[in-house]
Structure 1
């Protein structure tokens, strides 16, 4: 088996083609929300793949949320958290689209996640700094066009469908 792989690499290099051995994919997810499940509508990102420069395997996900859900969320800024979803939860969400990142974009996203996570004070605001704004910032880093229509700020699936339409080069379909 190793000989076959080596032969393919030699063949590709002779003809000027090098197979892509490493890349990180960024996927954009939404969750519809359900009173039964006890989760509000939400959007988050998933990063998977391998970094070109180091070969490091990437398997991460991040979503921005209020530290605790309750009526105080409706009254302005509250304490925040960057949440990591369990793999079985991710399989029950809507994956809207996936793009390939450069290593530099991946590093910028990691820095931005840390900045949101480590911001002092009450940083989550339902209307001005929620999961949609967080995911939107990551999309901007990845080179996507982003906008925040007021009527979508509490509707992650509708908003990601809107982002899909704003970026036709994605070739993604809207999720019903």
Structure 2
């Protein structure tokens, strides 16, 4: 009987510790980009860790125009969710990282799907670009978010602005 009790306590302790270890971190990135490099400035998030049910998470999402053309300057164009390759992840500015709840993770995934599946031409450089997408994710994470007009095409500067708006992050601005 004592052996069964000890085994049950051990299993309970192991189960409790695995629940405590479950966490998904979300990192807010910017990419400097340049026309010459073929990549425009961009912002996106990456998520990595383990959900409470043991599901492993390693994914990233940004929002972009489906094709880079001058049409982007004229109004809404076709959109896509952009998943970065590992080589681009290594070249980003990592602004700050937060730990998500499972509920926040599910809300972020729902937002990704909603923006991906939006009908018509949903990307708009002025009102619905990568900055707005990442800003909505920031709101899910409880951040204060604003979109100053002068920063709508400057992802790194915009994330530095978000860092200043949210001093509780303890994050440093990226040069």
Give the TM-score, by structure 1 length.
0.89
**Partner residue of 2:49?**
49
Instruction: Give 3-state SS (helix, strand or coil) of 1:144's partner.
Output: coil
Q: How many residues align?
A: 162
Q: What is the CA-CA distance between 1:24 and the residue it aligns to?
A: 0.3
**Partner residue of 1:38?**
38
Q: What is the CA-CA distance between 1:35 and the residue it aligns to?
A: 2.4
Instruction: Give 3-state SS (helix, strand or coil) of 1:40's partner.
Output: coil
**Partner residue of 1:76?**
75
**Partner residue of 2:89?**
90
Instruction: Give 3-state SS (helix, strand or coil) of 2:72's partner.
Output: helix
Superposed CA deviations along residues 81-118 of structure 1, whole A, max 9, x for unmatched, are: 00100111101010000000000000000000000000
Q: What is the CA-CA distance between 1:36 and the residue it aligns to?
A: 2.7
**Partner residue of 1:114?**
113
In structure 2, C-alpha distance between the alignment counterparts of 1:41 and 1:18, rounded to whole Å:
41
Q: Cα RMSD (Å) of the superposition? A: 1.5
Q: What is the CA-CA distance between 1:18 and the residue it aligns to?
A: 5.1
In structure 2, C-alpha distance between the alignment counterparts of 1:58 and 1:18, rounded to whole Å:
19
Instruction: Give 3-state SS (helix, strand or coil) of 1:43's partner.
Output: strand
Superposed CA deviations along residues 26-58 of structure 1, whole A, max 9, x for unmatched, are: 000000112232011000000100001x10000
Consecutive unaligned residues in structure 2, runs of 5 or more: 1-8
**Partner residue of 2:130?**
131
Q: What is the CA-CA distance between 1:75 and the residue it aligns to?
A: 0.2
In structure 2, C-alpha distance between the alignment counterparts of 1:121 and 1:35, rounded to whole Å:
27
